[in-house]
Amino acid sequence: MLSIFYFESCLWLPVINEFMGQQHPIYSRILGAIYWLKIMRRADNQVNHNAQIGIMAPMRDCNRHDALAWRPAQQTTRWMAAVIAMFLALLIGSTHAGETDPISFDDRPAERYVEHPLWFKASFLDLREDLAEAKQAGKRGVILYIGQENCPYCEALIKVNFGAPDIAEYTQRHFEVVELDLWGSRELTDFDGDRHSEHDFANLHGTNFTPSLMFYDQDAKLALRLRGYYPPYKFRAALEYVADAHYKKESFRDYLARADPPPKFEIGDLNEQDFFLRPPHVLDRSRIAAQRPLMVFFEQRDCHACDVLHTQPLSDPQVRTQLRQFDVIQVDMWSKDPIFTPDGRKLPVVDWGKELGLFYAPTLVFFDEGGREVMRIASVVHVYRLGRILEYVANRGYRSGLTYQQWHGKREIL
């Protein structure tokens, strides 16, 4: 049978990433198109394999060293037509403003003026009073929003999430939102009557990332905490989780698993990288300390946020160089396969993830040479933030007793 070469989508991604730029409206549509083409191609390949055993070569996954795979001429023609049609749709769709991927943005330092919604509470920063007024208005509690100026992730929260009419309406109906500045000097009184500056209060609660959102119920109990930026669908779920009091009977992880269960069928593989150590993974560091910190990528199949992580920040040359200072592994967070954890226990990956309270994919968890968790990224992350976190962990910044924000702030002052 006549065959021609078919280039894997992984060859296109670095080119698109360089040529289009992360801010171009069409960029995220191309990533989504490639993702669905990969899924459709796998299904088509399986059909052909069943019909023509021995004729088709096995399909090869993106990011492996082998870049080419054979495809029959008829199938390749069909896929070329599909690609052309998809790109035409992308080009047409790119004319519509504001339809960019909410988790694809540039997080490099820049001046950003973000105007907070007028419905944020004009608070005197006595949290007891804020909560009493929320209860009197029939609301479910108070959300403390900790942000900072020129923060791209805060900008995404304000413009994308709170910019969505349904999210804004739901939040106003159920919560009072009190805004705090990560570096602010205003005095606040917490729920216990203790006084702090905004900055000290943020540090007291271990605020590594902005935005940071703390949801307090009517009894001043911390019902949920979100560290970093989450896309609108996840943020809606967080609001409903607290407003409907699900936190009283289940974890946020279990709530999300019920509402949006993980994939049961392998419609796509995990994204592979050449810096991932190959299984089986024995991560035990409890008896003999390792030479390098450990970085565990908890991911899942059919995960758009995982695809964005791999095609954007993990394709950056500087980030890839920094990763050489770590032992890096990847696991499917819903897998039942056993693994030896850094503290020396053997248990299924899914149970390990549950113990860690993981609810977002991808989550990146860092462990020191002795197997102690020192940091995690459980929200959207891009090149600049990821590079600074890798620097913080690789230089053992956590040993100083400073948070990630404090450590980098001190280095910038010096």
Domain boundary among 72, 93, 114: 93
Q: Cis bond leading into 362, ω under 30°?
A: yes
264 lies in some domain: no
197 lies in some domain: yes
**Claim to verify: residue 57 and residue 142 sit in the same structural domain:** no
Contact criterion met (CB below 8 Å) for 331 and 280:
no
**Claim to verify: residue 173 and residue 58 sit in the same structural domain:** no
Residues 154-170 have a mean pLDDT of: 97
**Claim to verify: residue 210 and residue 324 sit in the same structural domain:** no
Q: Where residue 187 falls among pLDDT bands split at 50, 70, 90?
A: very high
Nearby residues of 73 by Cβ (< 8 Å), 6 or more positions away: 1, 2, 3, 4
**Claim to verify: residue 254 and residue 131 sit in the same structural domain:** yes
The pairing of beta strand 212-217 with beta strand 195-197: unpaired
- Maximum Cα interatomic distance, the chain, rounded to a whole number of Å: 79
pTM score > 0.85 for this model?
no
33 lies in some domain: yes
For position 260, what pLDDT does the model report? 75
Average pLDDT, the chain: 82
For position 43, what pLDDT does the model report? 46
C-alpha–C-alpha distance, residues 313 and 35, integer Å:
17
Q: Where residue 264 falls among pLDDT bands split at 50, 70, 90?
A: low
Question: Tokens 């070329």 map to which residue?
Answer: 80
- Enumerate helices (H) and strands (E) in the chain, giving the number of each: 14, 14
- Total domains in the fold of the chain: 3
341 lies in some domain: yes
**Claim to verify: residue 302 and residue 191 sit in the same structural domain:** no
Which carries the bigger pLDDT value, residue 247 or residue 208? Answer: 247
**Claim to verify: residue 331 and residue 404 sit in the same structural domain:** yes
Selection from 24-38, 39-53, 54-68, 322-336 with the highest mean pLDDT: 322-336
**Claim to verify: residue 231 and residue 298 sit in the same structural domain:** no
Contact criterion met (CB below 8 Å) for 146 and 212:
yes
Q: Where residue 271 falls among pLDDT bands split at 50, 70, 90?
A: very high
Q: Is the pLDDT of residue 291 over 90?
A: yes
**Claim to verify: residue 153 and residue 84 sit in the same structural domain:** no
**Claim to verify: residue 87 and residue 204 sit in the same structural domain:** no
C-alpha–C-alpha distance, residues 126 and 64, integer Å:
55
199 lies in some domain: yes
Domain boundary among 259, 277, 308: 259
Residues 147-175 have a mean pLDDT of: 97
Angle formed by the axes of helices 304-311 and 25-51, nearest 10° = 110
Question: Among residues of the chain, what percentage have pLDDT more than 90?
Answer: 68
For position 100, what pLDDT does the model report? 74
**Claim to verify: residue 10 and residue 59 sit in the same structural domain:** yes
Q: Where residue 267 falls among pLDDT bands split at 50, 70, 90?
A: low
108 lies in some domain: no
Residue 365: give its domain's CATH number. 3.40.30.10
CA geometry: angle 337, 393, 321, nearest 5 deg: 85
Domain boundary among 235, 259, 283: 259
203 lies in some domain: yes
**Claim to verify: residue 240 and residue 364 sit in the same structural domain:** no
Q: How many CB atoms lie within 10 A of CB 133?
A: 14
Q: Is the pLDDT of residue 217 over 90?
A: yes
For position 263, what pLDDT does the model report? 63
For position 74, what pLDDT does the model report? 46
Q: Is the pLDDT of residue 36 over 50?
A: no
105 lies in some domain: no
User: Where in the sequence is the domain holding 37, given as residue range(s)?
Assistant: 3-93
**Claim to verify: residue 89 and residue 135 sit in the same structural domain:** no
